[in-house]
Chain A
Amino acid sequence: MKHLKPITPKAELLEEAVESGTAKEVVAMSSIVGCVTTFDPGWEVDEDGGLASLCQPLQADLYGCSDPCWWPTQVPDTSSSYKKWADKSPSTKDDWRELDNVYPKK
């Protein structure tokens, strides 16, 4: 943990739990359903820092990522908060411009 710096309140709580020896009380959810259950950081590069293992084209991976909210920082949580996000876009390669923009609720 010494190389990681928490940037969210939840991550700070986890760090505190590690320091206090209670990390084992932090239990992962039982499956990948919803944006609070995955922690993948980003979509920009693959595991080797390149592009070869990224889905091609980007649109090919859009619904596979948004349905389980795999990349929580790049796609909306369609399972909970933005269920109509893709209603106008049955084909991402043809209709990607019709995807709604999502902004934080104020």
Chain B
Amino acid sequence: MLNKKITINIIGLVAMSMAFSGCAKTALTEKAPTADSGQDYLVTMTRPNNLVLVDLETNKVINECKIDESFSPGGVILAPDYKTAYIIGGFGEEIAGYEIDTCKKVFHTSLTQGDIKGQTLSGLAVSEDSKKVYVIYNRTKMGLDRYTVLDPMFSVYDVKDGLDAKEVKSFVIPRQMTEISTAYDGTVFGIGSALYEINPNTGDIKVVKKIVGWDRKGYSDADSAGNYLIGQQQGDFSTLYATLKYEDPDVPSEDGTWYWGITSVDLRTKEVTQVEFTEYETLMFTAIRSPNDSNILYGSLNDLSKFDIKNQKVLNRITLDHTYYSVVPSPDGSKLYVGGCLDDITVYDEATFEKLGKIHLSGDMGAAAMQIFHK
């Protein structure tokens, strides 16, 4: 899924069961290691049906849970208590939760109910107390001779409802919202054709920043695609957009300069940023800000780039071994992990972009996200 300007201009916007737990742990070691205290770990998904826990001291996979759900599209989000990973599976129709140390399945719900098909690509978040699961999804009534598009929904689930969870609250959301994330005070932010602030308790939704239809003098309409569940542990919720700055601000035309920008929320403070940070030189799929310096941004696809946002400068850039959809910094900001696409994750030194190592996985990540945390 690429080809940015075409995407921009044409589309718009743009995851062996066991009898007891519903999943099994691959015997990677005699004694199953767990995410003990004092170091960094990474959680992701790989094909055909693996939830993977990686020890970032050794860069080795230490746990591989076999999930019941079909891998697709590979969405995964880690609860803030770092115990349970929630996945989007079953071709976007199922949400499930698995304990990353034990592989025990602790949560499941189906977005499809009866003849109403529910699907989500990356609309998954967990509340800050790890007790609620939030999902945004599209609904289609599957008739005998027609499909009827229904309103998209935001649904809230109680984790304690377990393997047969039903929504405890639902409300209609605006169309074209693709991704959500939870700020540290419990507020939910959603992004798509705009950045929205959502109160999951009351269902109140307000636009925080316009994206499509921002009506900004001298610039073309912005477009963005929020599809990657990264940044929760780093306190960042950033989505790229591209815009054409017209040569003559009073005359909209195809003459001008393309820029990359971010629409971003600091999940710790709820500070919102929407700003261009570089000319459109290379294609990127994801961007994330440093946990140490919110003015530093990293982006990846075929290159790994480091940007100074305020000064619109490229501080470093290297060509990657192959395409990686996303980059995520370590919790202390000293390392960068690039992953997605194929069956490996490469580790880079944040300061020098020196390659430090490679994590080998048993299957492709596809569009799966990386959740990196310190425990």
Which chain A residues have a beta carbon within 8 Å of chain B's beta carbons? 27-34, 38-41, 46-47, 52-57, 59-61, 63-65, 67-68, 70-71, 78-80, 83, 86-87, 89-93
Residue from A27, A60, A67 in contact with B342 in the complex, judged by beta carbons closer than 8 Å:
A60
Residue from the set B1, B178, B367 with the largest chain A CB neighbour count within 10 Å: B1
Which B residues lie at the A interface, using CB under 8 A? 1-7, 10-14, 46-48, 70, 72-74, 91-92, 119-121, 123, 138, 149, 152, 175-178, 192, 225, 227, 282-283, 301-302, 322-323, 325, 340-343, 362-364, 366-367
From A53, A68, A89, give the contact of B2 (CB < 8 A): A53
**Given contacts A63-B366, A78-B72, A79-B72, is CB(A53)–CB(B3) below 8 Å?**
yes
User: Known contacts A64-B1, A83-B70, A83-B91; is A29 also within 8 Å of B138 by CB?
Assistant: yes
B343: chain A residues at CB < 8 Å are 90-91, 93
- Are the CB atoms of B367 and A68 closer together than 8 Å? yes
Q: In the bound complex, do residue A40 and residue B6 qualify as a contact, i.e. CB atoms below 8 Å apart?
A: yes
Q: Which residue of A lies closest to B178 (CB)?
A: A31
The answer on a CB contact under 8 Å between B1 and A65 is yes
Question: B residues within 8 A CB of A30?
Answer: 138, 149, 152, 175-177
Query: B residues within 8 A CB of A93?
Result: 342-343
Bound-state CA distance A56–B303 (Å) is: 11
Decide: A90 near B363, CB < 8 A? Known: A54-B2, A55-B2, A56-B302: yes
Contacts A40-B10, A61-B323, A67-B73 given; does A46 touch B283 at CB 8 Å = yes
Decide: A90 and B362 in contact? CB cutoff 8 A.
Answer: yes
Indicate which residue in A39, A46, A56, A89 contacts B323 across the interface (CB closer than 8 Å). Answer: A56
Contact (Cβ within 8 A) A57 B322: yes
Q: Is B92 a contact of A79 with CB atoms below 8 Å?
A: yes
CA distance A90 to B92 in the complex (A): 18
Establish whether residues B119 and A32, one from each chain, have CB atoms under 8 Å apart when the complex forms: no
Is A40 a contact of B11 with CB atoms below 8 Å? yes
User: Which of A55, A83, A89 is in CB contact (< 8 Å) with B301?
Assistant: A55
Known contacts A29-B149, A40-B6, A61-B2, A53 near B283 by CB under 8 Å: yes
Chain B neighbourhood of A68, CB < 8 A: 1, 73, 121, 227, 367
Residues of the B chain whose Cβ atoms lie less than 8 Å from the Cβ of A91 = 47, 342-343, 363-364
By a CB distance below 8 angstroms, the chain A residues around B1 are 40, 61, 64-65, 68, 70-71
User: Can you give 14 A-B contacts (C-beta < 8 A)?
Assistant: A27-B175, A30-B152, A30-B175, A31-B176, A32-B13, A40-B6, A53-B282, A53-B302, A54-B2, A56-B322, A61-B341, A64-B1, A64-B340, A67-B91
In the complex, what's the smallest C-beta–C-beta distance from A74 to chain B, in angstroms?
11
Known A53-B282, A79-B91, A91-B364: A32·B121 in contact at CB below 8 Å: yes
Nearest-Cβ distance from residue A98 to partner chain B, whole angstroms = 12
Residues of A within 8 A of B341 (CB): 55, 60-61, 63-64
Q: Which among A31, A46, A60, A61 is the interface contact of B192 at CB below 8 angstroms?
A: A31
Chain A residues within an 8 Å CB radius of B7: 40
Q: Given the interface contacts A32-B121, A57-B322, A67-B74, does A90 sit within 8 Å of B10 by beta carbon?
A: no
In angstroms, how far is the closest chain B Cβ from the Cβ of A48? 8
Q: Within the complex, which residue of A39, A47, A79, A87 is in contact with B119, where a contact is CB–CB below 8 Å? A: A79
B283 to chain A, nearest CB (A): 4
